[in-house]
Structure 1
Amino acid sequence: MVIAYWIVAGLLAVLYLYSGGTKLVRSAEQLRPMMAWVDTMPLSAVRVVGALEILGVVGLILPPLVGVLTWLTVAAAVGLVLVQVGGITVHLRRGEVRVLGLNVVLLVLAAIEV
């Protein structure tokens, strides 16, 4: 079970580090080609989502790695589930049904970590 946790946590970490890091450092113009929804939100909200994704990764990896405050891992996984619920909501409101696949997969993987 421990191996399965680390495989899923590693996969989530790679995806969320890229996604969150991109949202934190790129401008709206740079994000627009890959994330059309940034036009419907203030850039500060996009940055908050990016920061939450990075914090989720830290919460998934660091506590079990050092064996301290391991309950934060569950909180981080729940937070990442909520990020995906928000993402799915935004895509549904915009009528972007075709892009929901990745959101659903990430939601399921984060839910497995809970």
Structure 2
Amino acid sequence: MNLALWIAAGLLAVVALSGGISKTFVPKEKLAAFHGGGWTGDAGVGFVKTLGVLELLAAAGLILPAALDVAPVLMPVTAVCWILLMVGAMITHGRRGESTFVVLNLIYLALAAFIAWGGFGTWR
């Protein structure tokens, strides 16, 4: 079970890291041109950058606390926060009729739920 949690956390951390880097460092206009990035055209620059920073923090929060054994409870707490972020992403993409991204966000949400469930139960 521990290995499965590490794999799930690693996969989700890669997703969070790539999304965080793009939202934080790529100009909003370029993000809006990418498939699935159209929502950024309706959002403010500060909002997009804030989401990017939160995703970078999530990438760190999914790995570092358990890996360093410093407040490992932060790993499942981060997963719960990721669940909330994915609910917002699903609503945003759903309103735009982007069902592919809704399904992708649902998969990320399921991974985060598994990490939260296993993290609160196992890594204590």
TM-score scaled by structure 2? 0.87
**2:102 partner amino acid:** L
Gaps of 5+ in 2: 117-124
Greater shift after overlay, 35-44 or 89-98?
89-98
- Matched residue count: 114
Corresponding residue for residue 121 of structure 2 = none
**Structure 1 unpaired stretches of 5+:** none
TM-score by structure 1 length?
A: 0.94
Structure 1 match to 2:44:
42
Paired letter, 1:39: G
Q: Give identity over the alignment, percent.
A: 39
Q: What is the Cα deviation at residue 40 of structure 1?
A: 1.0
Counterpart for residue 2 of structure 2: 2
Runs of 4+ off more than 6 Å: none
Paired letter, 1:93: R
73, 95, 113: which one aligns with 1:111: 113
> Over the residues paired in the alignment, what is the CA RMSD in angstroms?
1.0
Q: Distance in 2 between matches of 1:98 and 1:8?
A: 21
Cα offsets for 1:79-109 (capped at 9, x unmatched): 1111100101111222222321211110111
Cα distance in 2, alignment partners of residues 102 and 43 from structure 1: 24
